[in-house]
Amino acid sequence: MGNTNFRLFYLLIFLAFNSFVHSQNWKTYVLTGIGKISIPPTLELRDENSLVQKIYDHTINQIEKTYNIEFPPATMTFQPVGLNLNGKSENYSRIILTTSKSKKNEYPDSGYLFTIGETEKNKLEEFFKTETVNSLRKINIEVLKWFKPEIININGISAYKMSYNRRLGSNPVVYVEVYKIFNNDMSIDLTLSYRVEESEIWSSDFSQVIKKLHINKR
């Protein structure tokens, strides 16, 4: 084996080892009655008593009063490490989980989205795109690009994936993915977002968050 092949071999071993160590540092959160989600070490669970949470609550309260709209409370919010302590970060990303509980059979079952045809898919896209664009426009956020939605399989659960680029004023463009999951008596929204210019920091880990997500069938 030549020197070039040796260097390539050891490089692959090094990358595989780093990937293994990184994955071992992920933290898994058990969601009672829902399932579990695994989060990379670059993120932390937002402290409800932190400054950033108080600022967020105040901002949302003002938006709801001004624009007469209501935001569902997040079940869990994950943010870049250090925000709880410092109240600021050079990078921007969020993973937000929200749930809506209702009576039995109020929502479709966890496999329903696998069964729908093109007509239903087109109707869903029209509905969610209109809802998203109009809701964000009310708070001066512009949807710059809308990507074709997908129905994907997350460990045996059907999910409706929407994605788009958005921008508030002159702020950096943010890429957003929303996964909508129906599960009999519960609706689950998982929203992942980060600045487009920081894709190299977040995109790989965020794709793994989806692959590692487990939802209990109800």
pLDDT in tens, 7-17: 554 544 544 44
What are residue 194's DSSP bridge partners?
93, 175
Rounded mean pLDDT, 35-44? 97
For residue 57, pLDDT beyond 80: no
Which of 19-23, 67-71, 206-210 is least confident? 19-23
Give residue 75's pLDDT band: very low, low, confident or very high (50, 70, 90): confident
pLDDT in tens, 151-202: 999 999 999 999 999 999 999 999 999 999 999 999 999 999 999 999 999 9
Rounded mean pLDDT, 89-114? 93
Q: What is the pLDDT of residue 59?
A: 76
Q: Is 82 helix (H, G, I), strand (E, B) or coil?
A: coil
Give residue 63's pLDDT band: very low, low, confident or very high (50, 70, 90): confident
Q: What is the pLDDT of residue 5?
A: 56
What is the token pair recorded at 204?
């790989």
Q: Residue with structure tokens 């069938």?
A: 217
Rounded mean pLDDT, 110-131? 96
What are residue 193's DSSP bridge partners?
94, 176
Q: What is the pLDDT of residue 87?
A: 87
What is the token pair recorded at 154?
């997350």
Per DSSP, 101 falls in state E
Give residue 67's pLDDT band: very low, low, confident or very high (50, 70, 90): low
For residue 215, pLDDT beyond 60: yes
What are residue 36's DSSP bridge partners?
30, 214
